[in-house]
Amino acid sequence: MALCIVTADERLSHAANKTTVALFGASGVGKTLLLKTLPPAETVCIDLEAGLKSVQDWPGDSIPVRTFADAIDLACLVGGVNPAADPAGFFSEGHYQHLCQSYPDLARMVAGKSIVFLDSITDLTRQAMAWAKTRPEAFSDKTGKPDIRGAYGLMAREVIGLLKHLQHAPGKTTIMVGILERVTDEFGRVTWEPQMEGGKAGRELPGIVDQVVSMALFSPDGEIWRHDPDHGAERRLACRAANPFGLPAKDRSGRLDETEPPDLGALLRKINTTPTSSHQG
């Protein structure tokens, strides 16, 4: 691909057309329900966990994915060609053209969407691990026996490669949903961590996306609430790093408040159209 100059106006226009978001939350907090806050005609849901029961009346399109190989193919259709890819590898021109010829209806549908809702990256890593365990890299060259370290390394590389490919999808906003796990160490300190196979993909994900938000239930006094929302708790999105709740968050746009309402459509509009404030994410 030829080198080129991107003007300030072009950069601003590009930023307004897409963003990448990692959305975390504990199981059952209502992450998938946020699909209903996105425009259905513009949104496609990549369903990796058969978990759309709560939004079965949502009028948008969804694509069930049950294997990591299918996830790679779908990511290629979403993100297009990676000019740096191995000509015989994933995300290459040959890979993309083969998929367009094999699945023309799917390719046209995906091309017409501007928002991709991936639910969830937690299950993506599980599918990737099952796939990695079958690859040659998951077996010792000397003994032929399974090598779990090799499988984890391969899984992490391929998941990160897939997520980075989605990050570069032209003109598409990608929202990656993941389970958030409450972890208590031996000293009683509580942290919230993304639930993913291995550690590398989870550590690198915040650096891949533009925004990290964590959905939680908050009690009326502003504390995280882990019980029934009918008892006065409110769902909100923690959006800034170093928030007092200890939830994963990052705001590259510099436009979000510490917490925001659980409305992804409104969140994206605020990220893309509100003048930058003085704080940084």
Q: What is the predicted pLDDT for the residue at 1?
A: 44
Confirm whether 10 is domain-assigned: no
How many C-beta neighbours within 10 Å does residue 36 have? 17
Please answer whether residues 168 and 91 qualify as being in contact, where contact means their C-beta atoms are separated by less than 8 angstroms. no
More confident residue, 141 or 155: 155
Confirm whether 1 is domain-assigned: no
Confirm whether 134 is domain-assigned: yes
Which residues, 6+ apart, have CB-to-CB distance to 117 below 8 Å?
Answer: 35, 38, 43, 44, 45, 46, 175, 177
Q: How confident is the model at residue 276 (pLDDT cuts 50, 70, 90)?
A: very low
Confirm whether 11 is domain-assigned: no
- Residues above pLDDT 90, as percent of the chain: 62
Confirm whether 60 is domain-assigned: yes
Query: Could you list the residue range(s) of the whole structural domain that residue 68 is in?
Result: 18-273
Confirm whether 279 is domain-assigned: no
Confirm whether 280 is domain-assigned: no
The residue with tokens 């191995």 is 86
Number of structural domains found in the chain = 1
pLDDT digit string (tens) for 27-53? 888 999 999 999 999 999 999 988 788
Instruction: Give me the mean pLDDT over the 125-144 stretch.
Output: 91
Rounded to the nearest integer, the mean pLDDT of the chain is 87
Confirm whether 13 is domain-assigned: no
The residue with tokens 């995280």 is 224
Q: What is the predicted pLDDT for the residue at 2?
A: 58
Q: What is the predicted pLDDT for the residue at 255?
A: 94
pTM: predicted TM-score of the whole model, two decimal places = 0.87
Q: What is the predicted pLDDT for the residue at 9?
A: 56
How far apart CA 77 and CA 101 sit, in angstroms, is 11
Q: How confident is the model at residue 162 (pLDDT cuts 50, 70, 90)?
A: very high
CATH number, residue 64: 3.40.50
